[in-house]
Structures are given as C-alpha cells and as structure tokens.
Chains A and B, each alone.
Chain A
Amino acid sequence: MSDLIACHGCDLLVDVSTLESGSHASCPRCGHFLTRCQHDAMSRVLAYTVAAIILLLLAVAFPFLSFAASGLESVMTLRSAPGSLWNYGMPELAILVAAFIIYIPAIILLLLVSISLPLIYGKNAPWLRFAARGVFTLQTWSMVEVFIIGVIVSLVKIAAMATVGLGISFWAYAGFSICFTLAVAALDRYQCWEMIEAVEASR
C-alpha cells in the first residue's frame, strides 16, 4: 500500500512503485506534480544546505547596500531592513519581515541538516519526524527569492538619486537564495517520508 500515492490535486490513487531514479511522476488525471525520485537526493540536500548556511552567515555579518549622496553615506545590513520597520513604529511588520527573510529560512536549513545527515547514513534519529514535519510546514513561508527581487527593485528605484554600492552581504544573500531554493527543491515530500519510515523500521 505504501507504493500508492493519492494526488493532492484530485485524490486519484497512483502507483509510483515503478518510478526510476531521476524521473518524476505527475497525476495522469489532473496533471498535479506527485513525486520525484533521486537516489542521491539526501546528499544533494545536505550539500546545498551547508553551502546555504555558510552564505547566510556571511550575509548577516557584512553590509548589504550602501547609499551615498552629497557627502553623506548610510549603510543597510540584512538585519537593519526589518530593524528600520521596528524603529519607525511597525514592530509586527518588522518581526514578519525578519522571519520571512532570515529566521524561517535559517530554521529550515538547520532542520534540513538534521534530516539529511541521519538519512544519508541510513540511521534512525528520534527527531526525524518532528524535523520533517517542521520543514514541510514552514517552507511556504520562506520568502528568500522574493526578497532578492525586492533588493533589485530597490536598487533601480534609488540608483538615480545617489551612488549605491553593493556590499559583500548582497552577493552572499544572492548565492544563499540560489542554494536555499535548490536545497528545498531537492527534498521530495513523499520520498523523504518513505525514507524516514524505512530507517525507523530497520531499527
């Protein structure tokens, strides 16, 4: 029965037992994506995740953008973007923005490490279910790639007013957004839970 998957789009039962590595299955009735099988999926997840963690640490540590006009200069860091909302009297919005661009992605990355490491070695770990549930619940709410577009739009908006400089953080965050997206995309919901069930059964 575990080879059957119910389509989330139309509830059709589909047999995915013959799915080969490197290919993916879509629902024959409604076309909804079902699952992708990749024999080294967890190694990919771990690789992208580690890269993303390093880049995120860099992005938090250095200046993001600098802005200079008439001899005055101001600098923005990744943390000061939500920080300024806080200072202008919008603490709720500040917390949300900080969560969307830094904290939720960071939590997802830590959970991804805690899932992929035991699964690569085929070992069971007591936190696997909790961590996987966390990842799949939180992933809708990370807006890393949206923030990058926001940065580019901001750049164009103010480029005419003054000299804008790109800091180390900007490049680090751009790289982080790519690695993060790849890490989350490499983790297939169905396959991940099948693997968790398999290592728990082999205990």
Chain B
Amino acid sequence: MMVWAVIFGMGILVFLNRYVFLEPRLPVRLSSNARQFLGFAVPGMLTAICGPIVFMPDKQLNLQWDNPYLLSSLVAIGLVIYTRNTLLSMLLSMAFFFLLRGWL
C-alpha cells in the first residue's frame, strides 16, 4: 500500500513541478536567488546519489583500487570529457565495469 502511496505522491509532485509555471493565473515568479539555487539541483542531487554507490559498495567504505565502481567511474568521467557523448560514455563505462568485475 505504501508503495502505491509513494507512486501517486511522486506523480502528483512531478506533475506540479512541471505544470505550475504553465498556469497563466499564477502571478508569482521565482526570485533570482531561488533560480540560482535550483540551477545547482542537477549536479548537487545526482552527485549525492552517486556517492554511496561508487564509494560504498556492499555498504562498506571502499577506497581501494580494486573497487570496480570507483575505477569505472573514473573511466566514465574520462570518457565524457574525451568523447563529449553522454550515451556512448555511459555504455562504454558500463561495459568496462562488467569486464572489470568479471576479471577481478
């Protein structure tokens, strides 16, 4: 039941986020500060999600070089900078990750 509540709650929130500024009767505008703050939403939030996945596989802090998550993330960053292609870098770094996991 909780899962459905989450799904519908998320649906409503996401829709409101998308719709609220399309509503012509809404006179308010976000202040410039709010806009600047929101501009950091993508790097800030997405990084916070990646952090534990990359540095703490199996819920343990792992800064060793045999942590495939850490190595593959560095490869992913390098690929994005080098190729400037989001999808390609994603696929190649995932392939690298699976190869590395099989090998280690």
Partners in one complex: no
| Chain B contact residues, CB within 8 Å of chain A | none
A contact residues vs B (CB 8 Å cutoff): none
